[in-house]
Amino acid sequence: MRGDRRVVIVPCSGIGKSYGTVSREAAYAVTQDLRPADSQLVPLALLVLGDEAARAAVAANPAVTIDGCKLACATKMVKESGGTVAQEVAVLDVYRRHKQFKPQGIAELNEGGQRLAHAVAEEISAKVDELREQSGGTADA
């Protein structure tokens, strides 16, 4: 991304649900493995708390939200924090396209859940690339 601008990734913070875990695993995959130079993780809890650094990050950068259910807390919280949501990703929508990856488990996802998280991460990485190209930035190696 141009300068210090990095796409903000905000995952669901739902505890005790497989789809929430999938969203967080996908966020880790993007920000730590797939696009570490072009993305940054902002925890939803910090936005809820009104953390200044988190609010500044979403205000200054495009955000991709990952929601585990239709309450769409991540998307709502980014908007309420003054951010711009470049893409809303619903884990359930991705699952509908990958029926073979049925997620199970909470603390530890089953193989289906891990593969679903990877599919979500790939879709987000593509969006990060698109945003990077729009801003004329550089790519992750």
Partner 1 sequence: MPDDLEATVDKFIFKVAKDRYYTNEGVWAKPEGTRVRIGLSDFLQQRSGDVAFAEVKPAGTSVRFGDEIALIETIKVNVSLTSPVQGVVDEVNPAMSTAPEVVNRDPYGAGWLAGIEATDWEADRLRLLDAEAYFSLMKGQAEEEAKKS
Q: Is 94 helix (H, G, I), strand (E, B) or coil?
A: helix
Nearest-approach distance from CB 23 to partner 1, in angstroms: 12
Minimum CB distance to partner 1 smaller for 62 or for 68: 68
Nearer to partner 1, 23 or 40 (CB): 23
Q: In the bound complex, what is the minimum distance in angstroms from residue 68's beta carbon to partner 1?
A: 8
Tokens of 27: 């966020």
Please report, for residues 31, 69, 128, 137, the alpha-carbon distance to residue 134 in angstroms, rounded to integers and kept in the order given.
19, 30, 10, 8
Kindly state the smallest distance separating residue 130's Cβ from partner 1, in Å. 26
Binding region for partner 1 (CB under 8 A):
17-19, 68-70, 92, 95-96, 99
Which of 13, 95 has the CB closer to partner 1? 95
CA 127 to chain centre: 11
- Please report which helix (H) or strand (E) contains residue 64, including its range: strand 62-67
Pick left, alpha or beta for residue 123 (phi over 0 → left; psi -120 to 50 → alpha; otherwise beta): alpha
As measured in angstroms, the least distance from the Cβ of 52 to partner 1 is 31
Q: 26 or 131, CB closer to partner 1?
A: 26
